[in-house]
Structure 1
Amino acid sequence: MPREKRQFENGELYHITLRRIADEVLFKDIGDYFRGIFGIYEFNNSNPVIIRKRREERRQFKNYMANIRGLTPAESAGVRPLSIKELDKRSKIVQVLSFVLMPNHLHLILRQIVDKGISLFMQKFGSGLAAYFFERYYGKMKKKGHFFQDRFNAVHIVNDRQLQVAFVYDWTNPIALIEPGWKEKGIKNPAKAKKFLEQYRWSSYLDCIGIKNFPSIIEAEKDFLMEVMGGAEGCRQAVNDWILQKGGIIKIAESFKRFSFD
């Protein structure tokens, strides 16, 4: 049976999850993670995107800026440094409020800003990431079959409270890398979990708590996000409260061990 077409409304927010088929690894090393981040930024564009061309433009920009920084005051007189925004020639189709990359899946919170923007963005991002993966790991050997699990999952976010929960849910996802099953079993070491999240690069959480990481991705929605979450400290507090709540599960379980109900 044909699948029902999903309708995404302009101006509305959606929580997106995209998983590798059979939960196989999606990001194997730091290069894969950087490619994922680069894809979130570059494929947010209604125009055709050639990744190699965009990388070359960025390389030239970095060289240009490095040359300017090496000039003496006299040599640099009249030379106007370019900004990264001048390199940004995208025609955006979504606004990215949050992202978290995990080894076998990723989470996004997106606002659609043009008709069919979310579907187009996910199609471009997904096919681009799959093409990169096959080229890097399989080369000329053709790989058959699907790369992702069916289509991406999307949940409509209808109010601020749901949005706050979605942010915290996404930002705390990486804890599973150091404490598997923590959502059901609780967190054994809350302090370690907090520290781990504040060092986990492949998430927008760092930029939201004032640690510069990949600020250009969520820049357009940063003010709105800060208002909803109560600023950088509100973001940190919401995450820490959730961690402490999960840590409390362990304490309750340990207290019950002291009693016998025979």
Structure 2
Amino acid sequence: MPGRLEPFINNYVYHVFNKTLNSQRLFNAEYSEIFLPTVNYYRSAKARVSLSHLKRLAPSVQENLLKIIEQSEFFRVEILAFCLMPTHYHFLLKQILDNGILKFMTDLGNSFTRYYNIRNDREGPLFIPRFKSVLIKNEEQLKHVCRYIHLNPYSGEIISELAELENYRWSSYREYLSKNQESLSNPQIIMKLFGNDRLRFKKFNSDQADYQRSLEYVKYAEKWL
């Protein structure tokens, strides 16, 4: 991966996104099912063996390692929001450890590309070599970028009705509306901006009059993707 000009700063939040080479439609249900556990694994600084190697270890060893991986005290990054689309993906990431975002994105991309290439008897990169990132500078921007990420399946016409967002499996939107504590994302930071009111959060996401404001906050992504 080419060197990055901008540094990532601990405890700051970034909109991070990347796309497939030649706009390949990659993220169907099968590969999304593989990608998200890979995300979960490599966000941890304790992911010191490759995921493919982990799967070859004895079940008891795997179980013990995965328990450590799940402990938030070892996270390189905190995932505030995410969404997979057929040709690209979005994250809202808070960097926890030094170089956390870069290491997470590098390990994630390398691991998933290796898996895909072996599965499909191919060689070479799968994603654009240098992912894009934008620093989130204030709470208003944070709300709108989160909204933009969650509305991607609707604005990209993957689903036809806003109500279907709650059933879109490859996004953190469902985790924001659920009381289930087991989730890939941590909605708490953004939900606090809505007084921890799920109905208020849902209304903000479905308010068409406000949608253009979200586009203004992320027009950099619209151009690139």
Deviation string for 1:109-134 (max 9, x for gaps)? Answer: 00001111100000001111111111
Task: Pick one of 139, 162, 173 that aligns with 1:160.
Answer: 139
Corresponding residue for 2:157? 177
The structure number with the bigger radius of gyration is 1
Corresponding residue for 1:26? 26
CA RMSD of aligned residues (A): 3.0
Corresponding residue for 1:204? 172
Uncovered stretches (5+) of structure 2, i.e. residues with no partner? 213-225
Distance change >3 Å, CA 123–CA 165, structure 1 → 2: same
Task: Pick one of 188, 194, 200 that aligns with 2:162.
Answer: 194
Deviation string for 1:216-237 (max 9, x for gaps)? Answer: 312xx33222102333222211
Contact 2:44 2:69 in 1 (8 A): no
The letter of the residue matching 2:31 is D
Q: 1-side partners of 2:17 and 2:193: how far apart?
A: 22
Secondary structure of 2:118 counterpart? helix
Distance change >3 Å, CA 245–CA 14, structure 1 → 2: closer
Secondary structure of 1:46 counterpart? coil
Secondary structure of 1:198 counterpart? helix
Q: 2-side partners of 1:102 and 1:58: how far apart?
A: 34
Identity %: 25
What are the within-5 Å matches in structure 2 for residues 52-201 of structure 1?
52=52, 54=54, 88=70, 91-138=74-121, 142-144=122-124, 146-175=125-154, 176-178=156-158, 192-201=160-169
Q: 2-side partners of 1:40 and 1:123: how far apart?
A: 11
Corresponding residue for 2:188? 223
Q: 2-side partners of 1:131 and 1:107: how far apart?
A: 20
Displacement of 1:170: 0.3
Q: 1-side partners of 2:71 and 2:55: how far apart?
A: 13
Q: 1-side partners of 2:116 and 2:139: how far apart?
A: 36
Contact 2:43 2:76 in 1 (8 A): yes
The letter of the residue matching 1:196 is E
Secondary structure of 1:120 counterpart? helix
Secondary structure of 1:16 counterpart? strand
Q: 1-side partners of 2:189 and 2:15: how far apart?
A: 16
Q: 1-side partners of 2:211 and 2:12: how far apart?
A: 31
Q: 1-side partners of 2:59 and 2:83: how far apart?
A: 26
Uncovered stretches (5+) of structure 1, i.e. residues with no partner? 65-81, 180-191, 248-262
Secondary structure of 2:38 counterpart? helix
Deviation string for 1:87-119 (max 9, x for gaps)? Answer: 736731111100100111000000001111100
Distance change >3 Å, CA 45–CA 194, structure 1 → 2: same
1:38 matches 2:3: no
Secondary structure of 2:135 counterpart? strand
What are the within-5 Å matches in structure 2 for residues 1-16 of structure 1?
5-16=5-16
Displacement of 1:5: 2.5
Contact 1:164 1:229 in 2 (8 A): no
The letter of the residue matching 2:91 is L
